[in-house]
Structure formats: C-alpha cells, structure tokens
Amino acid sequence: MAQPALSRRNLIHLVGKAGGVAAAYHTMAAMGLLAVPSAYAGPPALPPGRGRRLVIIGAGIAGMVLAYELRKFGYAPLVLEARTRPGGRNWSLRGGDTVIETGSTQRVVWDQDEHLYFNPGPARLPYHHEGILAYCRTLGVPLEVLCNDNRGALMQDDHAFDGAAQLNRRVVNDARGYVAELAAKAVNKDLLAQPVSADDKERLRAFLREFGALDKDLAYHGSSRAGWAEPPDAAHAGGPYQPLDLRQILASDFWRGPMQFGEFSTMAATMLQPVGGMGRIGHAFGRALRGVVTYEAVVTQLRRTEAGTRIAWKHAGTGAEHRIDAPFVVVTIPFPALRDVDTDFAPATRAAMASVDYVPAGKVAFQTSRRFWELDQQIYGGISWTSRDATQIWYPSGGLQRAKGILVGAYIWSDDLGNAFAAKPLSQRLGDSLGDVAHLHPEAPRWLGQGVSVAWKNIPYTRSGWAEWRSEARATQFPLLLKGDGPYLFAGEHMSFITGWQEGAVRSAHKVLGDIAERMG
C-alpha cells in the first residue's frame, strides 16, 4: 500500500482536452469533493387541508402518493381507480390472479408461495430512488437486495460466437483487458496531450495493468476475472479460459448495452426489491388508503365547470353512474389510457399528450418445477441477454435454492418487438419465449410450467409500458403539461424526468403537491 510520489502535474489534462464539461456545470466544480449529492427533500409541506375534497384519478404510485400526503395535511382526497386493486403498473402476479387484456383473459394457476410471483411492471428499486424507498420505509414494506447485473449470467447474439451464449464475466472482463491494452499502447506512444514525467507514466501504466488485468508487458492474455475453464479445487490450481475473440465481441451487440449495464445510473448496484414482489408497495399504499380509494370507478368524462371540474364515473361492477365536482382534479393515468375518457382538454394539451412516446413493453413468465439456472448454470438472480425477441431473461433474486421458481422468459421493450408481441396470440408469445429461453437453457422445456404474458399495450386502464420523451417534445410540450390545463393537473412517471421508474411517479406527485399548495395557499 506504499504511495509512490506523484508529480504535481495535473494528469487529467494529459488524457483529455481540458474543460469539456458544459459551462452550466462549472459552478458545480466545488462539489467535486462532496461524497453525496444534494439530499432528497421529501414531499413538500401543504397548507392545512381542513377536510377539503380533492379528486385524483388513478391509484397507481403517483395517485396514491398524492392521496397519502394530502391526507397527512388534513385534506380529504378521493382516488378513483378503475381496477379492483391498487398499484397500477405496480403489480405482482401470483397463483389465483387474472390477467385481462383486450381480447384475452389468463388465469394464473401457479403454486401459492411467497417467492412465486411475477412483476409484469416495475421490478427494480435503484438505491438512489429515495422517494419510493422512503415510502417503502414508511409503509413497512420489507426490502431485499436484487442482483441486476450478474457476472454469472449469459449474453447471446446470433451474429457472434456462432450464436452460442457466452458468460457475462468472460465478455465483460476480456473486453476490459483489451481496452486497457489499447490504452497502454497510447501511453507508451506518448499520445497524452502533453509530455509527462517518467514517474507519472509508470503510475498510469500500473493503473492500466490493474484496470485490465494486464501482464507485466501490458498485454492481455486472459484473467481469472473471466472465471475458470477448470475451476480451482482442493488439489488443483484451476485453469483460466482462453480470452474471447475480440472480433466476436465486436460482432455482437453485447457492447451496445449489456456489457455496461451495471454501470448505468439506474441499473447499478445496489438494486433493491420488496420481499415478495413489487406489488407489495401498491398493496401497502392501498391498505394505508382504505376508504380513500374507490375501486372499480371507471372515469368516463371530465368537464370544466365554473367551480372547476365535474368528473363522471361508472362503477365497473354495478354500472351505476356517479358525478363529483371538484375545484380541480389530478389525472395520473397514462395518456394512452386517457383516450378512452371523454375529456375537454385544450387542443394544446391534447397535442402535448400526443407528443409523448410510449413504450409497448411486454413480459412473459413461467413457473418452473426446477430452478435449473441455479442448479445447472450457477445463475442466482440477474439477467441474461439475447439478440432474439425475448431480449432479456430474468432470474429471481428471491426464493433462492427453493424447489420452484418464476422465470421471466422475455422482457421486451423495443417498439417493433413490443408491438409484435402485443399482437401475438397468447400461445405464440409463450412458444416464442420458450424457444428463446431454450437457446440459452436447452434443458428449460423439461421444467417450465404454466406461462403467463402481459403486453401492457393491451391492458385496459394503462395501455402502455412507460413514457419516453423525445428531446423536442420534452423541450416544447412537457413544460405545458407540467403547468396543467385549467382544472386539470397531471402526475405520473410520464410527468417527470425519471420516466419508466416509480421514482418518477413519486417525484411527479410531490411536484403536483407543490402546485396544489400554491393553489390552496
């Protein structure tokens, strides 16, 4: 641990051009020594509610955060929820549940056990999503660590390695070695932006050696980081793998995402999950808001009135029609689902809503009678990637080593694949997923039980996976929606810069609470 002396030269200038960071952030330079970014503010305080009624459409995360906070300050929020359950896309399917899509109904017949669940919607809680994590804490939803990026999982690409699945640890660490080796060549050839002392150069070389597991000549010849072709045991030292062919790695799409996956801000460790499924959060909110959420309340019409707005809704069970007046209403349901509601939004609002892209996400899950990924391939949680339609295969991070499991056999989110997935008959979705899974796990078909699929595009009252804003729409249309449209305020993941995450819904709800405070103040 000796500390070699380092010359005072600023090595940052040796590698890159100085000052490439946007001027807007120059003032943040002083923050470079801070260990943590600005603290999470939490929900805003509100003026006393004095029992005032507020109407919220949708008992997803955004709607329930709104109701939860409003009630804390003495308001009387009313949440209208079309479904029979709270949570919206926050949802864990279990044996006995039903999946209703437009045109199909699936009855889940899996075994009943705490670890046998499937999250068709969100399934991850990044450690820095402090809003949703704080609600888990407040509501007493136990969390556990989820493995997201698993060095023991697989990457498969039909265009590389003859289509054979490769170990994540080999792809990642062999690539890392090759990159370090290239970087060392640049150092050796003095490609730094300015001349450096021999000492500095040597330290940079030593750093690259560690970075990439290079040998003393700064070449990469494989490393135990990639695992072992022959693992060590009691009497044998073990033998490393031959490094993977860089040409094959480059021919694959592994480097377009899978290889850096665990470094992405929202994908990095520590990743968390509620014990027993993401739906535990929705249900905890639902329990806390008993009497506040009206279920089976399908909103049919929104109209401006002199006093604000009139909301018409129909009970999905009885068909009874209701009307409520409110000074304003917070609409939290995704815009694609709003198309089924007769509204009098302003044309500019409608245009702004139409400018958001929605991801046609879909997933497939199977109950399995054997956790073959753990037993046969040493895969505990995490994700395997395939260039085939299934895109991702998820292994459960809960119920480890139990007899049975729920395997996510496809997680699809690209436009083309997602739309095609939604259009497929249920049996074809399962068959296609099974085929892709079997390419990575040839033994899988023996152990797969009932499969269940969810194409969010076809799920009533949601009709979409999540929002994605193209930069132009974000710049021009989003601010408009953020202001609201007369008596209509909008909240949800789509109304945030953290789209596709429950945290976006929480932060959006907090933002709208601030707007309500202003209107009430």
- At closest approach, how far in Å is the CB of 159 from its own copies? 5
Nearer to its own copies, 107 or 137 (CB): 137
CA atoms of 64 and 52, how far apart (whole Å):
17
Nearer to its own copies, 95 or 240 (CB): 240
Which has the closest alpha carbon to 419: 364, 458, 386? 458
CA distances from 91 to 57, 61, 70, 284, 339 (A): 18, 11, 24, 12, 22
Q: How far is the CB of 201 from its own copies (least distance, A)?
A: 11
Nearer to its own copies, 24 or 290 (CB): 24
- Give the C-alpha separation, 245 to 239, whole Å: 18
State which residue, 33 or 198, has the beta carbon closest to its own copies. 33
**What single DSSP character describes residue 470?**
-
Closest CA to 147 of 364, 377, 396, 403: 396
Comparing CB distances to its own copies, the nearer of 88 and 131 is 131
- Residue 18 Cβ vs its own copies, minimum distance, rounded to whole Å: 10
Cα-Cα-Cα-Cα torsion 471, 475, 477, 482, nearest 10 degrees, comes to 120
Residue 208: CB minimum distance to its own copies, A: 7
Tokens read off for 178: 């090759």
Of 515, 496, 513, the closest CA to residue 129 belongs to: 496
Cβ closer to its own copies: 166 or 464?
A: 166
Separation in Å, CA 314 to CA 296, 341, 377: 8, 11, 52
Instruction: Output 38 or 112, the one with its CB closest to its own copies.
Output: 38
- Minimum distance between the CB of residue 229 and its own copies, rounded to whole angstroms? 5
Least distance from C-beta 397 to its own copies, angstroms?
Answer: 5
Treating both helix axes as pointing N-terminal to C-terminal, what angle do 130-139 and 61-72 enclose, rounded to 10 degrees? 60
Q: Write down the least CB distance from residue 115 to its own copies, Å.
A: 10
Give me the least distance between CB of 118 and its own copies, in Å please.
18
57 vs 383, beta carbon nearer its own copies:
383
Rank residues 313 and 373 by Cβ distance to its own copies and give the closer one: 373
Sheet arrangement for strand 271-274:
125-126, 271-274, 143-146
Structure tokens at 496: 């945030």
Give the Cα separation of 456 and 421 in Å (integer). 10
Whose CA is closest to 85, among 60, 110, 52?
A: 60
Task: Tell me whether residue 161 or residue 366 sits nearer to its own copies (CB atom).
Answer: 161
Q: How far apart are CA 273 and CA 218, in angstroms?
A: 41
Q: State the Cα–Cα distance between residues 429 and 421, nearest whole angstrom.
A: 7
Residue number, 360 or 451, with CB nearest to its own copies: 360
Shortest Cβ 153–its own copies spacing (Å): 8
β-strands 392-395, 382-386 pairing: antiparallel
Cβ pair 136, 275 in contact under 8 A: no
Nearer to its own copies, 264 or 287 (CB): 264
Residues 6+ apart with CB under 8 A from 351: 477
Helices then strands, each counted (H, E), the chain: 16, 24
Buried b (16+ CB within 10 A) or exposed e, 285-300: bbebbeebbbbbbbbe
- Helix, strand, or coil (residue 104): strand
Q: Give min distance, CB of 10 to its own copies, in A.
A: 5
Beta strand 239-240 pairing with 271-274: unpaired
Closest to its own copies by CB, 36 vs 198, is 36
Q: Which is nearer to its own copies, 233 or 306 (CB)?
A: 233
The string of DSSP codes covering 316-357 is TTT--EEEEEES-EEE-S-HHHHTTSB----HHHHHHHHTSE
